Structure 1
């Protein structure tokens, strides 16, 4: 019988109750967390941890790709960029290449920062409209 970890329960509840925009932000942050873990694992020559972390980051990028609405122009622009990041993560994993990994991290960071700004702008709009969407 396992004992529930309150922090894990909180994290799980926050994911299930988060609005879609916040979920996307969580995905970007998770991807960056796994990229940083992989970076450290490459430096420490921990191949198993590197592979595990990079596969987790790749899965997050695949999830982001799968949620794109390809009827929208912005999605058509994002898809090749996500694909590029995905391929960079694969190359970093195959070659233990910190340069390629750093480039992927830079791009994910830019997406994350842009997404945070979009969320903030939307919150400000909702506040100025009296909470109406």
Structure 2
């Protein structure tokens, strides 16, 4: 089998060629995907599977937190507060075993994802003109 035809090779290529804005969108996509899986598993009573997916989503939130440029001002401060709120809510979801709390975080991150996707699209439209 051609190693370049694998889904992993495609993902690797997409990550390596993505703009910073597109990378943030990809992180949101991953977090939302893992959170939806966690919510379904939790609602089915599959606690261990749910906790595993929550861990993966929380790792993405940690990455988003770690890569914030706090020198950029108010936007970074607000994003930091949102990410910390999301992590707190996911901890509560795990302890209380409430899928509804996961759904709250999914809704919040989905809104942020759409905003970043629009930003990435604008940046891509400007990039060719400046090259």
Shared topology, TM-score over 0.5? yes
How far apart are 1:13 and its partner, in Å? 2.4
| Distance in structure 1 (CA, Å) of the matches to 2:44 and 2:122 | 40
Aligned to 1:43: 43
1:17 aligns with 2:41: no
The Cα shift of 1:48 comes to: 1.3
CA distance in 1, matches of 2:11, 2:125: 26
Superposed displacement of residue 77, structure 1: 1.7
Unmatched 5+ stretches in structure 2: none
Q: CA deviation at 1:58?
A: 0.5
TM-score, length-scaled by structure 2: 0.89
Shift of 1:50: 0.1
Find runs of 4+ consecutive structure 1 residues off by over 6 angstroms: none
Query: In the aligned structure 2, how far is the partner of 1:123 from the partner of 1:6?
Result: 26
Verify: 1:107 aligned to 2:122, yes or no.
no
Deviation at 1:86, TM superposition (A): 1.0
How many Å apart are 1:37 and its aligned residue? 0.3
User: CA-atom RMSD, angstroms?
Assistant: 1.8
Shift of residue 88, structure 1, vs aligned partner? 0.9
Pair 1:8 & 2:8 matched: yes
The count of corresponding residues between Structure 1 and Structure 2 is 128
Per mean C-alpha deviation after superposition, the further-off stretch among 6-15 and 27-36 is 6-15
Q: Deviations over 1:47-73 (max 9, x none)?
A: 111000001011100100000111111
- Take 2:42 and 2:16, find their aligned partners in 1: how far apart are those partners? 33
The CA distance in 1 between the partners of 2:7 and 2:123, in whole Å, is 29
**Higher percent of residues as helix:** 2
Q: Which has the higher contact order (CA 8 A, sep 6+)?
A: 2
- Inter-partner Cα distance in structure 2 for 1:22 and 1:122: 10
Match of 2:72 in 1: 72
